[in-house]
Structure 1
Amino acid sequence: MVSEARLVVPDESYHESFLAALHEFQEAGEDLEVRMPEVAEPAAFHDWLEHLRWAGLVGAAPSVRDRTPHRIYWWVEAGRFLGRARLNLRLTPELTEFGGHIGYDIRPTARGRGHATALLRAVLDTAREAGLDRALLTCAPDNHASKRVIERNGGVLADISQAGRLRYWCPTS
C-alpha cells in the first residue's frame, strides 16, 4: 500500500535508508550512478546532495545527461527511502532519444506494490506545476513493468527512438 508514501526533496535524514537501498540496487546488479564509498560518510553524503541540487539548478554537470535544468525527488515512506525520480525541465537531443523528461527507480524490496505508479503520478503533477503540458518518458522494449507504469499514468506510445527506446507521451494533468 502506498498511501503513506510521498515525494520529497533529497534530504540528509534519509542517509542510512539511502545507503541500504543503494546496497539493494548493487546486489540486484543495477547502477544508480553513485557508489557506496562516495556517500557512506555523512559529510560526503551532504556534499553529494549539495551537488545534486546545484547541478539541477544550473543544468551543468560532467555528464551530458545532466546538462539541462532538472529536479531530483525521492519517494519515501515512514522515514524510509523507497525510490527516486528525476524531472528534466527541458529536453536535449540526447534526452529525446534516451531518458525523456522523467526517469525513476524503485528499490528492489519495494517493487510490486504500486510505488512506481504512484511516484510517476506525483512527478507528473510536479511537471505540470513546472509548466509542462505533457512529459516524454522512455523505456526499454523488454521492460514490461515500466511500460505498465507509464501506461497506467496515461502514457501513449509515440514511437521507438533511434536508440531503441520506446517513447511515450504522458499528460501532466
Structure 2
Amino acid sequence: MREAHLTAPDLRYHRSFLGALREYHEDELRENLRDPADFARWLDDMREAGSHGTAAIERDRVRHRILWWVRDDDYLGRVRINLELNDELTEFGGHIGYDIRPSARGQGHATALLREAIGVAKEHGIVRALLTCAPDNHASRRVIERNGGVLHDLSAAGRLRYWVG
C-alpha cells in the first residue's frame, strides 16, 4: 500500500469518492455523479474553476487549486488552496481549506494533507498562509498548530485565524 498523497481529481477515484459522499450523507445531492461520464465532466469543470476564465473565477470567488488526498485508489479527502484572498476569505476560509472523509479521520491524514498543501501553496508564491477554523473545532486547531500555525486573532466572522509559514 502506498502512502497517501495529494493529486489532481481523477476518474480513477470515482467509486471511492461516491463512498465518501455517502459518508457525508450527500448521496442524494450528487445523484448526477453516479454515471462515470457525468463524473468526468464534473471533474473537468472542477479543474477549470478558479483557474481559467472570468466566469469560473466569479463563480468560485478567487483563483484556486483543488487537490484530493488519496491512497492507492481510495479518496480520503480534499483541499482547496486559494491563490489569493478577498475580504470574505480573510474573515472566513483563508488560503487553505481541507476535509477528510469521516472513515479516514483520526489517522493523521489531516495533518499530513495540510503539510503537503502548505508546500503547494509555497510553490504558488504564498509565503504565509492564512487558515481559519471554528473556535470549538479542536481537531482542526491541533492540525493547524502541528503544522506551525500561530494563532493571530478571532475574525469578525467568529473564526480563529492562524498564520502558517
TM superposition score normalised by structure 2: 0.93
Deviation of the 1:35 alpha carbon:
2.6
Deviation of the 1:38 alpha carbon:
2.9
Q: How many residues align?
A: 164
Q: Say which of 38, 41, 49 aligns to 1:47.
A: 41
Partner of 1:99: 93
| Structure 2: segments with no counterpart, 5+ residues | none
Match of 1:157, SS state, is strand
RMSD between superposed Cα atoms in Å = 2.0
8 Å CA contact 1:60–1:68 kept in 2: the answer is no
Q: Which residue identity does 2:23 align to in structure 1?
A: E
Partner of 2:6: 7
Q: Distance in 2 between matches of 1:40 and 1:143?
A: 32
CA change 1:124–1:3 in 2 (3 A) is: farther
CA-to-partner distance for each residue in 1:71-117, whole Å, 9 max, x for gaps? 00000012100000000000011110110000001000100010000
Deviation of the 1:3 alpha carbon:
7.0
Deviation of the 1:62 alpha carbon:
8.3
Deviation of the 1:56 alpha carbon:
2.4
**Do residues 118 (structure 1) and 112 (structure 2) align?**
yes
Q: Distance in 2 between matches of 1:63 and 1:39?
A: 24
Partner of 1:79: 73
CA change 1:143–1:39 in 2 (3 A) is: same
Q: Which residue identity does 1:90 align to in structure 2?
A: E
Q: Distance in 1 between matches of 2:132 and 2:147?
A: 13
CA-to-partner distance for each residue in 1:121-163, whole Å, 9 max, x for gaps? 0000001111110100000010000000000000001011111
Deviation of the 1:60 alpha carbon:
3.9
TM superposition score normalised by structure 1: 0.89
Q: Which runs of 4+ in 1 moved over 6 A?
A: none
**Do residues 19 (structure 1) and 18 (structure 2) align?**
yes
Deviation of the 1:43 alpha carbon:
1.3
Partner of 1:140: 134
Q: Distance in 2 between matches of 1:103 and 1:51?
A: 19
Deviation of the 1:63 alpha carbon:
7.0
